[in-house]
Amino acid sequence: MSSMDGIRISMIKQFLIATHIEMIKAFRTPSFSLPTIILPVSFYLIFGLLMKLGTGAAYLLGTYIVFAAMAPGLFGVGISLVRERSTGWLDLLKASPANTVVLLVARVCMALLFAVISSLLIILLAGIFGNVHLPLSRWFALIPVTAFAALPFATLGLVIGMYSGKGGSSALANLFFLPMAVLSGLWFPLQVFPEYLQSFALFLPTYHVAQISLFTVEHVTSIFWFKHIAIVSVWTVIPILIILFVEKAKTPGWPHNSDKTSGA
């Protein structure tokens, strides 16, 4: 086995261990885990099943799994990183033999997994109590749609967590969370908003991933796949580029010099 193969195996092990630890940490933080999972589910139960707002349970199934994908990244990744920065724990991790990039990717995966857990509960409610009937393939397709929806908010959470102050991080996360949820038509159909706000939704990742989700639940019959995927991808990549730019400016050679086990 070459040294490069050994490094790759070591990084994979680090990633699996780090992701496992992040999941345990998240579940052991009820102030994060309970609202993240229960809030979207309870909203869907109230507005989608009991009140039947919008066009009913199928429409809100498509939009609420996107809503469920937002909080894990913004709050689970972002706010937890801020807290660890303030206690010095993040600096200790950077100085440890662990690969910094692997640790950040593990946090992103934690956010994706939490988003999927919440969306699975919404899917169960829709299928059992919402009278939503879809082919089996469509039900399963909602899982990667949820993960895709969570990506831009997980990378945005990294930026918030690594560079915002402790006092303003929650406000900054909510500045993205609430307006994007409302103005993208996740809670109410866009048609209830003025025309200028409907146009504003076209720039938001939540709107575009919601269109993919609504197509998956057969609420819309055709979508512009490339445009929707491209805009969500741009929102995902921009925070990564910000991190690369800032960290390279602070530490020349980053992220390559973050692999502190390569010389072992």
Q: What is the pLDDT of residues 33-66, one digit of tens each?
A: 898 999 999 999 888 888 765 567 788 899 999 9
Cβ contacts of 112 within 8 Å, gap of 6 or more: 72, 147, 150, 151, 154
Cis, bond preceding 30 (omega within 30 deg of 0): no
Q: Quick one: tokens of 134?
A: 């879809």
- CA-closest candidate to residue 210, choices 153, 147, 145, 115: 145
pLDDT at position 210: 93
Distance CA 109, CA 207 (A): 22
Are 68 and 114 contacting, i.e. CB atoms less than 8 angstroms apart? no
Q: What is the mean pLDDT of the chain?
A: 86
